Amino acid sequence: MSFTVALVGRPNVGKSTLFNRLAGKKLALVDDTPGVTRDWRSAPARVGGLSFTVVDTAGLEDVTDDSLEARMRRQTERALERADVALFIVDARTGITPLDRHFAALLRKSKTPVILVANKAEGKVGMTGLYEAFELGLGDPLALSAEHGEGMADLVEALLPYAPPEPEAVEKAAVPAKGEGEEELPVGDQPETDEERARPIQIAIVGRPNVGKSTLLNALIGEERVLTGPEAGMTRDAISVDWEWRGRKFRLVDTAGMRRRARVDAKVEKLAVADALRVVRMAQVVLLVVDANQILDKQDLTIARTVVEEGRALVIALNKWDAVDDRAMALRQVEDKLQAALAQIKGVEVVTISALQGKKLDTLLDLILSTYGQWNRRIPTAQLNRWIEGVLDHHPPPLVEGRRVKIRYATQVKTRPPTVALFVNKPLDLPESYQRYLIAHLRETFDLPGVPVRLLLRKQK
Ligand code: GDP
Ligand code: GDP
């Protein structure tokens, strides 16, 4: 999974020079004569650990009679269509020209995010052009020297929000040694590829003592061996168990912790939350088990919130459903509690089960799969922007000192959990409460129950 960066700007600002530097090769023909005929090319680029495809729009054919503006517009529009982000390059030495302004107007209307780059700024020579560039209405210009390679670190930082999630650590052995489990678990960057499907979904079961976690574990994997001591292939310290269901692999983490808890029930009550945090960090989907005969209490809600704050997907199982007298009442109580809880966990999916009788376990696994799918969700940029437009129509951000913060654009920059970058003119003026509202609204609109959603604010004038 890569992303595409287009280089746009009038002739002679240094697009080809930057292209060559990013692509690391002497591919493009660099010429002082504006408008030298070249094809527009793309190449794989790698700088500062970022990989992307760079597209150059240089190559304004001189064969047509069209005006330079018309040709540039065509070139640029073609490039913007393909790009995730555009670098709009101006010449810091010559300063801003009418053609630059023409370009800026075009780019301001584009849905593709734009990073303004003032090139030829080596030394302090280009300061005048740099200051002028602020006037273009495309945010703060980034000073760069394509020829001398200055400012590349800033460029990488500016591009970072558009990069897809990094491929993470390589899969560990199925049964890691004790202590290793605390590390971030390997997660891929593209859901539902064959490779991804071949990987187990990491699940943790958390909840207070005696709610039925061990019983559920045994019911899920269909054998008693986990709790009955070491056997061939499983050491006492083993902390994970793998199994398959309908062709999908699941891995239950921290079963050793569960064994420990099972042995010393009463003493661990106080530790449950701290313990849960450790387990949550090892999982992708966290299954919070609660006893349907007990009211969802503060500790349960704290664990649920922790799951979401840690960026994991959450599913709640109401266990011992077989032993509930008034089921309608029990459900209503849970729903009331969840409604009253913080927005982060509002609307999380609840499934009623009986671990003891093995009831509704398929429903539970289905729910885990769908929640995992949502956690991996990639929402198209067009949909996100339609959503943000609707929100701005009906519930715009509050005025700050008589002025309204402008939200320009939204794009998802990461999955697991879904993370959306929001481009605003004054990020610091967007109140926390409004950000929470946006997150809640987004989760509702895109149907992401039990899935944390993150919002990153980026400055764009
Ligand atoms: P393009 O038409 O936008 O592709 O521009 P080129 O890459 O062909 O560059 C035009 C001219 O600007 C060439 O003479 C380059 O050597 C020069 N140039 C490009 N980048 C820089 C830079 O960072 N500093 C200076 N001083 N000159 C540069
Ligand atoms: P843990 O401490 O959360 O691992 O809980 P256990 O799995 O050890 O279960 C605690 C008690 O609840 C045991 O007596 C189980 O038999 C009982 N239990 C577990 N699941 C159910 C269930 O679905 N229905 C009923 N009626 N009892 C259950």
pLDDT digits (tens, 9 = 90+) for 151-167: 888 888 788 778 776 44
HSE, side-chain direction, 13 A CA sphere, residue 289: 25
**Cα-based torsion angle of the residue sequence 269, 271, 273, 276 in order, rounded to the nearest 10 degrees:** -110
Which pair of tokens denotes residue 50? 């970022």
* The predicted structure's pLDDT at residue 196: 65
CB 21 within 8 A of CB 43: no
Q: Which atom of ligand 1 is nearest to the CA of 29?
A: 8
Cα 1 to Cα 344: distance, rounded to the nearest angstrom: 29
Which pair of tokens denotes residue 127? 């300061």
Cα 36 to Cα 18: distance, rounded to the nearest angstrom: 16
**20 Cα to the center of ligand 1, angstroms:** 11
CA of 206, nearest ligand number = 2
**131 Cα to the center of ligand 1, angstroms:** 19
* The predicted structure's pLDDT at residue 269: 46
What single DSSP character describes residue 368? H
* The predicted structure's pLDDT at residue 459: 83
Reference 386, options 322, 310, 446; nearest CA is 446
In the block, which residue shows the tokens 């001398």? 148
Q: Cβ(11) to ligand 1 under 6 A? A: yes
Cα 15 to Cα 40: distance, rounded to the nearest angstrom: 11
Q: What does residue 197 show for φ and ψ, rounded to 5 degrees?
A: -65, -25
Mean pLDDT by 10 residues, the chain (461 residues): 85 90 63 43 80 74 57 77 90 90 88 91 74 81 89 83 56 32 31 66 87 86 49 42 83 62 46 66 90 86 86 93 89 83 76 93 92 91 93 90 89 89 88 90 89 87 70
**Nearest protein Cα to ligand 1, atom 12:** 14
Reference 287, options 258, 245, 324; nearest CA is 258
Q: Where are the alpha helices (DSSP H) in 341-360?
A: none
Reference 254, options 267, 272, 266; nearest CA is 272
**Nearest protein Cα to ligand 2, atom 27:** 320
**176 Cα to the center of ligand 2, angstroms:** 28
Paired with 44 in beta bridges are: 53
Q: For the whole prediction, is pTM greater than 0.90?
A: no
HSE, side-chain direction, 13 A CA sphere, residue 356: 10
E strands in 232-388:
240-245, 248-253, 285-291, 313-319, 350-352
* The predicted structure's pLDDT at residue 226: 45
**Nearest protein Cα to ligand 1, atom 2:** 12
| 285-291, strands of its sheet edge to edge | 240-245, 248-253, 201-206, 285-291, 313-319, 350-352
Q: What does residue 141 show for φ and ψ, rounded to 5 degrees?
A: -75, 150
* The predicted structure's pLDDT at residue 313: 93
CA separation, residue 259 to residues 217, 302, 351 (Å) = 11, 23, 24
Q: Is 123 marked within a binding site?
A: no
Reference 93, options 30, 152, 13, 147; nearest CA is 13
How many residues does this entry show for the chain?
461
* The predicted structure's pLDDT at residue 385: 93
* The predicted structure's pLDDT at residue 254: 64
Q: At what angle do helices 213-221 and 361-375 cross, to 10 degrees?
A: 90
Ligand 2 pocket test, candidate residues 205, 208, 210, 360, most atoms within 8 A of CB: 210
**Nearest protein Cα to ligand 2, atom 10:** 210
Which pair of tokens denotes residue 37? 């005929």
In the chain, what percentage of residues exceed pLDDT 90? 24
Q: Is 57 marked within a binding site?
A: yes
Please tell me whether the peptide bond between 417 and the residue prior to it is cis, using omega within 30 degrees of 0: yes
**Nearest protein Cα to ligand 1, atom 24:** 120
Q: Is 222 marked within a binding site?
A: no
What single DSSP character describes residue 419? E
Q: Cβ(309) to ligand 1 under 6 A? A: no
Residue range 331-374, pLDDT digits in tens: 888 888 887 776 677 778 889 999 999 999 999 999 999 999 99
Q: At what angle do helices 98-109 and 68-82 cross, to 10 degrees?
A: 40
Cβ contacts of residue 222 below 8 Å, gap of 6+?
A: 243
Q: Is 13 marked within a binding site?
A: yes
CB 75 within 8 A of CB 83: no
Which pair of tokens denotes residue 401? 């000192």
CA separation, residue 118 to residues 6, 94, 234, 424 (Å) = 15, 10, 60, 21
Cα 262 to Cα 9: distance, rounded to the nearest angstrom: 66
Q: Is 354 marked within a binding site?
A: no
Q: At what angle do helices 255-263 and 213-221 cross, to 10 degrees?
A: 140
